[in-house]
Amino acid sequence: MLGVAVSTLRKWEETGELLPARKTAGGTRYYAVSDLLGIGNEDAPTVCYARVSSHDQKADLERQHAMLESYCAAKGWRCEVIRDLGSGMNYHKKGLNRLLEMILRKQMKRLVITHKDRLLRFGSELVFAMCAAQNIEIVIIHKDDQPSFEEELAKDVLEIITVFSARLYGSRSKKNRQLLEALKEAAG
C-alpha cells in the first residue's frame, strides 16, 4: 500500500514513525489500514501548491510561496509547499504528480492554493473531487478575486495558443531539424 520495502517498515518501527498495530511472536508485523493511509491523523500536514508558467515569473512564484506560508502560519497550520514551474495545461509536472500522489494516499489534511488556476488551467475540478473523496479540505485564498467569464475565457484561449505555439516552434528548431536529417541519413 505504501510502496516501500520491508526494511523501510522496520526502520520506521525503530524510529517510532510507524508502529505496527500488533506483532506476532515470530515477528510478523500487522498494520492498521487507517495508520497506513493516515486516516484520522491530526498531524497530517497542510499542503500548499504554487505554480507559475515560465521562468520569467520566478518572482511571482516566490511571492506565492511566501503568501501560502504566511497564510498557514496565521492559521496555525503546519505546512509543506510544493512548487511547480510549467504550463497549467501540462499534467506531467513533478510537483503536480507529487501532490496527486499525496491526495490519493491521504497524506495531507488540506490543500491551500492562492487562485484556482494555479493548480491547473483545465481539470482542477477533478483534483477537487479527489480531495472531497479523501475528505481533504480545499482552501483557495483569493476566491473572491475570480475573473469574469470573459476574462477567464480570454486567459484560456491565450494559454492554448501559447502551448501549441511552443510545440510548433519547438518542432521547427534547428536541433530538431538536424536530428530528423540524421535519422533520414541513417535510414537511407
Beta strand pairing call for 110-113 and 137-140: parallel
First to last CA, the chain: 50
Q: Are 115 and 152 in contact (CB under 8 A)?
A: no
To 10 degrees, the CA torsion angle through 119, 120, 123, 125?
30
Active site residues: 53
Q: What are phi and psi of 169, to 5 degrees?
A: -70, -30
* Nearest alpha-carbon partner for 102 in 48, 143, 33, 31: 48
* Nearest alpha-carbon partner for 113 in 96, 93, 77, 138: 138
C-alpha 159: how far from chain center: 20
Contacts 24+ apart (CB under 8 A), 121-126: 121/87, 121/88, 121/89, 121/155, 121/156, 121/159, 122/88, 122/89, 122/156, 123/91
